[in-house]
Amino acid sequence: MAASRDESRRTERLIGLSRELAATGDLPSILTLVIDALRDLLDADRATVFEFDAKTDELFTQVAHGIGGAGDAPKVIRIPKGTGIAGAAATSRQLVNIPDAYEDPRFNRAVDQKTGYRTRTILAIPLLDHDGQLVGVAQVLNRRDGAFDAADERLAQGLAANAAVAMKRGRLIEDRIERERLEREMDVAKSIQAETFPDEVPPVAGWDIAGASEPAEFCGGDAYDVIPLSEGAIAGPGTDPDGFVLMIADATGHGVASALSSVQMRGMLRLGLRLRQPIVKIAEEVNAQLSEDLPDGRFVTAWIARLDCRSGHLHTVSAGQGPILVYRRATDDFEEYAADIPPMGVFALPYGEEDSRHLDLASGDIVVAITDGFYEAPAPGPDRERFEIERMKQVVRAARDLPAAEIFHEIQRAVHDFSAHAPLEDDQTGLIVKRT
C-alpha cells in the first residue's frame, strides 16, 4: 500500500511538472525544473541536463547540481557526444542504467578525483523531440536507496519526453530573442554607418560631385566622404566651399568588423583635416594607426584626393585602391591610375610627395573612383566573367553628358544587369567628380 501511495505521489508530481514545463518558455528555468524534478522524484543526490550542440557534436551543460555555488558565474562543461555514460546514452539513444559506476569502463573517474565526490549509481536518459532528434541527455546520480529500478526508469522516461519538447521550445525562443537582439544592434550599426556618409554635397559652380555606397551585407566594409573646404579648413555650415577632400575606403571583408575599420579611417581623415595636414601626411598617420590597430590579415584600401575648385587641380594618393579612371572629354579617352602605395594597415611606412599624383581637370572631365565591388561583379554562369574596366569605360563614355549622380546610377544599373541582379558579393561604393 505504501509503495502504491508513493507511486501515485510521483505520478501526480510528474503531471504537475508537465504543466510547469508547458507554461515555461525560459530555457534556464526549464533546465532547472528538470534537474530538480529528476533529483526529487528519483530520490537521488544530483542531476544534470546536457544539451546537444549539433554544430560541434558535443554535449554541454551549465545547469547541474554541484557545478557552482550561489552567485557563481555559469560554468559550462562540454564533452564529446560519444564520451562517458551521457555520451553512451546520446549515441545509442537508449536509457543507460549503471548500478556501479566504478565497474563500468565508460565511467570517467577523473571528475570524482578532482571534486572529491563519489559517484555510485547513474541513470542516463536521452532527450528526443517529437521528430526523434537528439535534444540532450539527462543524467541522475546516486539514488539514495540502492540502484535505480524499473519504476525509476519509467518515470525518468516519462519526464524526459516532456523535458525534450520543453527544451526544444525554450531553445527556439532563446534563439529568436538573440536573433532579434542582433538585428536591433545591426540596425543601430547600419544607422550609425549611414550617418557618416555625406547627406549632400554643397554646390560649387563648375563642379558636380556624387557618391553612394551599397553594402553586400547589413553593414558594409566600404565608406566614402566628401568634405567641403574653405581657405584650407573644413568649411562650416553656410560657408561656400572653394575645395573638397574626397575619400573612398574599402576594408577587407564586409559586415560590422569591416565597417568599423572604414569608419575609423574616415574619422582619422577628418581629424587630420581639422589639424590642417596635407593629404599625404594624413595618409601616413592613418596607415601607422591602422597598422597598430588591425589584426593580421586585415587592411583598408583607400583613395584620398584634394580638389581645388578654382584651379581644377586634383591632388590624390591611392593606398591599394585602383584603378582610378579619369575621362578626358577633349580627347574622348581615359587615363588609368593604379595604386601609389600599399593598402593601409599592413605595415607603417613613411610617405613622401612622390607617393601621390597631381592632375588638372578641364571642362567635361570626369573622375571615377569606385571600389572593386563594381569591377569584380560576376556574370552568372560557370565562367563567372567579371565586369572589369573596359565595360566601365563604355558606361561612363555613354553617360558623359549626364549629371554625376546619374552617371553613378548608370554604372550601378549596368553592373546589376551584368550580374543578373544577383545579391552583391562585395560592397559597391564610389565617387564621381565632374567638371562641368
d(CA 20, CA 354): 75
At a CB cut-off of 8 Å and minimum separation 6, what does 352 contact? 280
Residue 69: per-residue pLDDT: 46
Whether the Cβ atoms of residue 193 and residue 427 lie closer than 8 Å to each other: no
Q: Are strands 77-80 and 333-337 parallel, antiparallel or unpaired?
A: unpaired
Q: For 154-163, what is each residue's pLDDT tens digit?
A: 888 877 777 7
Q: Are strands 207-214 and 134-143 parallel, antiparallel or unpaired?
A: unpaired
Mean pLDDT rounded to a whole number for the chain: 86
Residue 221: per-residue pLDDT: 79
Residue with more model confidence, 28 or 318: 318
Q: What is the percent of the chain where pLDDT is above 90?
A: 50
Burial class (CB in 10 A: 0-12, 13-18, 19+), 1: exposed
Q: For 332-359, what is each residue's pLDDT tens digit?
A: 999 999 999 999 999 999 999 999 999 9
What does the block give as the cell for 73? 558565474
Q: For 10-64, what is each residue's pLDDT tens digit?
A: 666 666 666 666 666 567 777 788 888 888 888 888 888 888 888 888 888 876 6
DSSP per position, 159-208: HHHHHHHHHHHHHHHHHHHHHHHHHHHHHHHHHHHHHHS-S-PPPBTTEE
Residue 386: per-residue pLDDT: 96
410: left (phi over 0), alpha (psi -120 to 50) or beta: alpha
Residue 228 pLDDT class (50, 70, 90 cuts): very high
Cβ count within 10 A of residue 110:
8
Between the ranges 6-20, 142-156, 404-418, where is the mean pLDDT highest?
A: 404-418
DSSP 3-state percent helix, strand, coil across the chain (nearest 5):
40, 25, 35
> Among residues 234, 260, 240, 239, which one has the least CA distance to residue 249?
260
Residue 306: per-residue pLDDT: 98
Strand partners, 307: 244, 314
d(CA 304, CA 249): 9
Is the predicted pLDDT of residue 404 greater than 50, yes or no? yes
> Among residues 379, 388, 375, which one has the least CA distance to residue 417?
379
Inter-CA distances, 265 with 251, 294, 320, Å: 9, 11, 14
Segment 364-386 shows an average pLDDT of: 95
Segment 182-211 shows an average pLDDT of: 80
Inter-CA distances, 169 with 32, 35, 314, Å: 15, 17, 62
Is the predicted pLDDT of residue 320 greater than 90, yes or no? yes
d(CA 224, CA 432): 11
Q: For 98-138, what is each residue's pLDDT tens digit?
A: 999 899 888 888 778 877 889 899 999 898 887 788 888 88
Topology adopted by domain 2-173: Beta-Lactamase (3.30.450)
Burial class (CB in 10 A: 0-12, 13-18, 19+), 280: buried
Residue with more model confidence, 313 or 174: 313
d(CA 159, CA 172): 20
Residue 122: per-residue pLDDT: 92
Strands (E), 361-399: 366-370
What does the block give as the cell for 20? 510547469
d(CA 81, CA 89): 9
Backbone angles phi and psi of 414, in degrees to 5:
-65, -40
d(CA 269, CA 248): 11
Is the predicted pLDDT of residue 1 greater than 70, yes or no? no
Is the predicted pLDDT of residue 192 greater than 70, yes or no? no
Cβ count within 10 A of residue 296:
7
Query: In the chain, where are the structural domains located?
Result: 2-173, 189-435
d(CA 409, CA 210): 10
Question: Looking at domain 189-435, does it have CATH number 3.50.50.60?
Answer: no
Residue 19: per-residue pLDDT: 67
Whether the Cβ atoms of residue 229 and residue 278 lie closer than 8 Å to each other: no
Residue 328: per-residue pLDDT: 98
Backbone angles phi and psi of 246, in degrees to 5:
-115, 145
Residue found under cell 555555488: 69
Q: For 231-274, what is each residue's pLDDT tens digit?
A: 999 998 889 999 999 999 998 866 667 777 888 888 899 999 99
Residue with more model confidence, 148 or 13: 148
Orientation of helix 404-418 relative to helix 388-398, angle to 10°: 140
Is the predicted pLDDT of residue 392 greater than 80, yes or no? yes
Residue with more model confidence, 319 or 42: 319
Residue 408: per-residue pLDDT: 98
Between the ranges 21-30, 165-174, 287-296, 365-374, where is the mean pLDDT highest?
A: 365-374
Backbone angles phi and psi of 299, in degrees to 5:
-160, 175
